């Protein structure tokens, strides 16, 4: 009996380009699903204009309690987006499109805490905002293309290559 | 088959999560909007447009079914917000007010003077008394030819119902410690001595009003005193007397700002935004306040010293 070779695959570290594109898709979804509903309220408390003007406004005026409350809410909801999807499926929407998966480097199942830890760069407060620079730089030095928060949470993003 | 089911359940989960986040976001944004009622930041603009419409009072807001109130608390807040905003280059006040509380008018005028921006006012139907007091603090005033302005004077008139009470055989038992404590009570006739005290206070307030207008308009105090009969003055006459700078309205005021600052003016409207919750709670507060006031009036002899109005 003739036996055809079955489709074989190997799991490798995800390409950085695919990860960036997947992240852009996720940001678009977060913007539409989470940030957009708050636009109406934000327009009431944030002066329209460029970044510099807005920065100068809040430097002089100080931020309102309402602005902090909205920023906190948006951050929590954005964290929920990543944590819920990655915990349940190992994939966010962007990762689904590019067939990327979040896995544990220790082969253990992803816990909520680990999913949360790998996404804490979303918190727009010091010292977490430092991760916006540190995380991508860390990828360049990591053998497994991990961000710092991925290294700390013992997770990484992989893709399956078929042939 | 199994793969297909897995894929389907994956997308169901994705849509469930995103749907949940959208619903929560809309719900919470609505909740936060309740607290953003009066703190509306204007849209793009470099000229703060602040309406002063209705009776000027130190607190309170307009009732949807009652008279228009220009709250000095809100207007001062707007002026200070505009002053702190580096995008705002000038403040344009639209005045349509018969005046109101002397204190509230002074609060707005003082806030306007403190501001470092270019301040321009234009008077529509009425910019009388306290309304003019506020306008005078601007750098430049426009007025319509037929607007009524001026009315530089103060009053504290009230109804004396002691005669009515007498007809109903109701007597006012006067119990005071301090001989002027119930001065201006509507339940008793004013004595000559009390009248003199009140008139002295009114004259002092009148003098402050005159001096402020003279200082703001750079006019001699004696000239303002001559005009300060409380008489409303037509726009054209006010221009001749130097109480205002030019005849015109909003368009002229905006052009003036553009020429003076060499900018293209974009108005950023600072207006109190009221949510449905504000309207409903305002109505309830108003009703409860009036109910309480009625009961309180019936039960106690109030300290009813007359308020000074401009």
| Interface touch A38/B32, C-beta < 8 Å | yes
For chain B, how many structural domains are there in total?
1
pTM score of the predicted model: 0.58
Residue A24 forms contact with B (CB below 8 Å): no
Counting other chains too, the contacts that B80-84 makes at CB distance below 8 Å and 24 or more residues apart are: B80/B111, B80/B115, B81/A61, B81/B48, B81/B270, B82/B48, B82/B50, B82/B115, B82/B117, B82/B268, B82/B270, B83/B114, B83/B115, B83/B116, B83/B117, B84/A57, B84/A60, B84/A61
Q: How far, rounded to the nearest angstrom, does the alpha carbon of residue B183 sit from its chain's CA centroid?
A: 28
End-to-end CA gap in chain A: 23
Say what percent of chain B tops pLDDT 90: 59
Residue in B108, B47, B49 with CA at minimum distance from that of residue B77: B108
Please give the backbone phi and psi of residue A152, each rounded to the nearest 5 degrees, phi first: -65, -35
Q: Give residue B38's Cα distance to chain centre.
A: 14
Report which of B98, B156, B100 is spatially closest to residue B127, judged by C-alpha positions: B98
pLDDT for the residue numbered B94: 96
What pLDDT was estimated at residue B1? 44
A39: nearest CA in chain B?
B29
Return the structure tokens found at B114.
């403190």
The answer to whether position A4 is within a domain reads: no
Mutation target for B interface from A50, A52, A57: give the one with most B CBs within 10 A: A57
Q: Which residues are paired to A160 by β-bridges? A: A11
* Residue B167 C-alpha, separation from nearest chain A C-alpha, in angstroms: 57
Q: Assess whether pLDDT exceeds 80 at residue B291.
A: no
- Note whether residue B197 is domain-resident: yes
Q: State the number of CA atoms in the 13 A half-sphere of B232 facing the CB.
A: 14
Question: Closest partner residue to B39 among A40, A45, A49, by Cβ?
Answer: A45
Q: Is residue B281 a part of any domain in this protein? A: yes
On average, the pLDDT of chain B sits at 84
A66 close to B28: Cβ distance less than 8 angstroms: no
Which pLDDT score is estimated for B297?
A: 53
Burial of A48 (0-12, 13-18, 19+ CB in 10 A): middle
Residue B34 within a domain: no
Q: Residue B308 pLDDT more than 80?
A: no
Q: Characterise B68 by phi-psi region: left (phi > 0), alpha (psi -120 to 50), beta (else).
A: beta
Contact list in A for residue B10 (CB cut-off 8 A) is 89, 91, 96
Name the residue among A66, A77, A96 with its Cβ closest to that of B36: A66
What is the CATH number for B275?
3.90.226.10
Q: In total, how many domains does chain A have?
A: 1
- Does the beta-carbon distance from B32 to A80 stay under 8 Å? no
Residue A3 lies in a domain: no
Say which range, A42-46, B178-182, B244-248, B262-266, has the weakest mean pLDDT: A42-46
Give the range of the structural domain holding residue A26, as residue numbers without chain letter.
9-162
Question: Mean pLDDT per segment of 10 residues, for chain A of length 163 residues?
Answer: 68 88 94 87 66 62 72 92 92 92 87 92 87 89 88 90 74
Subunit contact B84:A60, Cβ cutoff 8 A? yes
| A143 exposure class (CB count in 10 Å sphere: 0-12, 13-18, 19+) | exposed
In a domain, A55, yes or no: yes
How far does chain B reach from its first CA to its final CA, in angstroms?
84
Residue B213 lies inside a defined structural domain of this protein: yes
Interchain pair B18, A73: CB under 8 A: no
Can you name the residues that pair with B37 across neighbouring β-strands? none
User: Which chain A residues touch B29 with a CB distance below 8 Å?
Assistant: 37-38, 40-41
Position B216 pLDDT exceeds 50: yes
3-state secondary structure of B286: helix
Please give the DSSP secondary-structure letter assigned to residue B309. Answer: B
Domain that holds residue B92: 40-299
- Please report whether residue B306 resides in a domain: no
Phi-psi region of B132 (alpha: psi -120 to 50; beta: other; left: phi over 0): alpha
Cα separation, B45 vs B77, whole angstroms: 18
pLDDT at B292: 52
Residue A84 lies in a domain: yes
């Amino acid at each position: 009996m003739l036996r055809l070779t079955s489709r074989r695959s190997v799991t490798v570290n995800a390409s950085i380009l695919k990860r960036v594109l997947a992240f852009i898709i996720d940001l678009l979804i977060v913007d539409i699903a989470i940030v957009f509903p708050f636009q109406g309220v934000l327009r009431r408390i944030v002066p329209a204009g460029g970044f510099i003007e807005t920065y100068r406004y809040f430097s002089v005026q100080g931020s309102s309690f309402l602005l902090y409350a909205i920023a906190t809410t948006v951050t929590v909801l954005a964290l929920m987006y990543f944590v819920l999807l990655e915990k349940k499926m190992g994939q966010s929407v962007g990762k689904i499109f590019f067939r990327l998966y979040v896995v544990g480097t220790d082969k253990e199942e992803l816990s909520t805490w680990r999913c949360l830890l790998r996404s804490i760069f979303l918190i727009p407060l010091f010292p977490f905002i430092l991760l916006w620079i540190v995380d991508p730089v860390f990828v360049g030095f990591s053998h497994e293309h991990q961000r710092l928060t991925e290294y700390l949470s013992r997770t990484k993003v992989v893709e399956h290559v078929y042939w | 088959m199994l793969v297909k089911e897995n894929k389907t359940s994956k997308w169901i989960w994705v849509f469930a999560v995103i749907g949940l986040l959208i619903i929560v976001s809309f719900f919470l944004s609505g909740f936060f909007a309740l607290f953003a009622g009066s703190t509306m930041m204007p849209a793009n603009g470099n000229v703060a447009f602040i309406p002063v419409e209705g009776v000027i009072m130190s607190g309170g807001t307009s009732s949807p079914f009652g008279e228009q109130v220009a709250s000095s608390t809100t207007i001062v807040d707007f002026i200070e917000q505009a002053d702190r905003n580096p995008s705002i280059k000038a403040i344009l006040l639209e005045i349509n007010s018969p005046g109101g509380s002397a204190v509230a008018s002074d609060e707005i005028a003082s806030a306007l003077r403190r501001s470092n921006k270019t301040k321009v006012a234009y008077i529509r139907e009425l910019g009388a008394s306290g309304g003019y007091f506020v306008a005078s603090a601007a750098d430049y005033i426009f007025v319509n030819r037929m607007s009524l302005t001026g009315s530089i004077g103060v009053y504290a008139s009230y109804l004396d119902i002691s005669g009515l009470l007498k007809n109903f055989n109701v007597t006012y038992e006067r119990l005071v410690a301090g001989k002027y404590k119930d001065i201006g009570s509507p339940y008793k006739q004013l004595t000559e001595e009390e009248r003199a005290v009140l008139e002295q206070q009114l004259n002092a307030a009148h003098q402050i009003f005159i001096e402020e207008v003279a200082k703001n308009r750079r006019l001699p105090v004696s000239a303002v005193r001559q005009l300060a009969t409380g008489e409303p003055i037509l726009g054209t006459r006010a221009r001749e007397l130097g109480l205002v700078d030019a005849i015109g309205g909003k368009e002229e005021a905006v052009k003036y700002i553009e020429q003076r600052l060499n900018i293209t003016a974009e108005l950023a409207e600072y207006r109190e935004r009221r949510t449905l919750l504000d309207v409903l709670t305002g109505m309830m507060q108003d009703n409860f306040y009036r109910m309480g006031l009625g009961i309180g009036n019936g039960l106690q002899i109030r300290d009813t010293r007359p308020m000074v109005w401009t």
